[in-house]
């Protein structure tokens, strides 16, 4: 029994630090699949060339490993023009043997054309941007708290017991006292 071909034209992409290898699998009405492979730079111009190459070959369905940060620029460039399936690496790992980038891309394309790849959830762009913003805000808040603790410790070891006199060590009045102390050291 042959596996059903779900995607007549699809692409498997093997992502690396400085390049991607893409393999388009095109299956005709007789079930014969032909492959086109190409290597592209990971830089924006190379990824635009990849997008153009996919469009020229009428390929809208793409599958790639969801590995680290290297996949993010690829996803961002292809997001508007393709249906992208991000696959967990353990589900698209090639069988042991003579592994090459070209074989990996073809393996991913072959798994994907039969719909044998479970896609990872990727939220829409607006949600991803909001997540990034909230993570950065959280980081800055933690940084600010850490710096306030350092100032409080500096005051304590300098025997300046400002916290015993005011309710908020970082309030307006406290900051004026600290400025005066810095302007006129004891």
Domain boundaries, the chain: 9-122, 126-183
Contact 115, 6 (CB under 8 A): yes
Model confidence at 182, in pLDDT bands (50, 70, 90)? confident
As a whole number, mean pLDDT of residues 140-155 equals 91
Question: Tens digits of per-residue pLDDT, 83-124?
Answer: 999 987 776 776 565 566 678 889 899 999 988 888 888 888
Coil/strand/helix, residue 38: strand
Strand blocks (E) in the chain: 9-15, 19-27, 33-41, 61-65, 83-87
pTM > 0.75: yes or no: no
User: DSSP string of 47-81?
Assistant: HHHHHHHHHHTT--EEEEE--TTTHHHHHHHHTTT
| CA–CA distance, 84 with 47 (Å, rounded to integer) | 14
Coil/strand/helix, residue 15: strand
CATH topology of domain 9-122: Nucleotidyltransferase; domain 5 (3.30.420)
> What number of H helices and E strands is found in the chain?
6, 5
Question: Tens digits of per-residue pLDDT, 23-81?
Answer: 999 999 888 899 999 999 999 999 999 999 999 999 999 999 887 888 899 999 999 99
């Amino acid at each position: 029994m042959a596996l059903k071909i779900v995607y007549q034209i699809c692409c498997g992409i093997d992502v690396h630090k400085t390049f991607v290898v893409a393999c388009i699998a095109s299956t005709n009405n007789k079930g014969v699949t032909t492959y086109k492979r190409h290597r592209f730079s990971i830089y924006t111009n190379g990824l635009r060339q990849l997008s153009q190459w996919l469009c020229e070959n009428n390929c809208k369905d793409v599958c790639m490993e969801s590995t680290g940060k290297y996949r993010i620029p690829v996803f961002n460039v292809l997001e508007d023009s393709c249906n992208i399936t991000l696959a967990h690496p353990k589900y698209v790992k090639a069988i042991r043997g003579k592994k090459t980038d070209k074989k990996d891309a073809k393996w991913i394309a072959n798994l994907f054309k039969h719909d044998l790849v479970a896609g990872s959830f990727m939220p829409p762009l607006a949600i991803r941007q909001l997540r990034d913003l909230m993570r950065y805000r959280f980081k800055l808040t933690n940084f600010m708290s850490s710096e306030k603790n350092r100032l409080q410790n500096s005051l304590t070891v300098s025997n300046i017991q400002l916290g015993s006199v005011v309710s908020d060590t970082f309030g307006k009045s406290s900051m004026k006292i600290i400025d005066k102390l810095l302007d006129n050291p004891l």
